[in-house]
Amino acid sequence: MDAERIRESLESNGLRFTSQRYCVMAFLLEHAGHPTAAEIFEGVNRLDPRLSRATTYNNLRDLVQAGLVREVAVEGRAARFDAKSAEHHHFICDWCGRVEDIAWYPVPRPGAASLGKRVVRASELILRGLCSACAAEKASQ
Ligand SMILES: [Zn+2]
Ligand SMILES: [Zn+2]
């Protein structure tokens, strides 16, 4: 995604275009493997050493709040981040912690009766188990 498209997506989501936000978005779009906040900081700091950890984390939080970046919670490990806009599900490996994208398919929504007065913003499915590499390693033991 080029700078102009990143600018448009920031502005259409109510965020001012800044070089720091651009760096965080561009890094996430280039690294689709769901990096952690620490990995994002290392990556953007390499591109622009003036970027501090606090600034990077604040920008990341703004992007998550604006809905441009998804935070994928991984039990017992650092959260991972994803700027892919296409709807998709996630698979998380219990063994190595890898987070993989699963092609989107519709999941049934609970009926209104079980939701009560809750306002649902999004729904996603997280599948857990062993990734193909870990499954192969376990099988060969
Ligand atoms: Zn694995
Ligand atoms: Zn993803």
Q: Domain for residue 78, yes or no?
A: no
Q: Domain for residue 50, yes or no?
A: yes
Mapped onto helix, strand or coil, the DSSP state of residue 31 is coil
In this prediction, residue 1 carries a pLDDT of 58
- Mean pLDDT value across residues 80-95: 93
Tell me, what DSSP letter sits at residue 122?
-
At 43-85, the pLDDT tens digits run: 999 988 999 999 999 999 999 999 999 999 888 889 999 999 8
Q: Domain for residue 30, yes or no?
A: yes
Centre of ligand 2 to C-alpha 88, Å, is 6
Position 25 pLDDT exceeds 90 = yes
Do 59 and 13 share a structural domain? Answer: yes
pTM assigned to the model: 0.84
- For the four alpha carbons of 37, 2, 21 and 63, in that order, the dihedral sign comes to negative
Centre of ligand 2 to C-alpha 135, Å, is 21
Centre of ligand 2 to C-alpha 76, Å, is 18
Do 98 and 59 share a structural domain? Answer: no
Which residue stretches of the chain are H helix? 3-12, 19-30, 37-47, 53-65, 112-115, 132-139
Q: Domain for residue 77, yes or no?
A: no
Centre of ligand 2 to C-alpha 34, Å, is 6
CATH of the domain at 10: 1.10.10.10
Centre of ligand 1 to C-alpha 93, Å, is 5
Domains: count for the chain: 2
Domain extent for 114: 86-139
- For residue 51, what are its two tokens? 């970027």
Q: Looking at 22, 38, 72, which one is the last position of a domain?
A: 72
- For the four alpha carbons of 46, 52, 55 and 57, in that order, the dihedral sign comes to positive
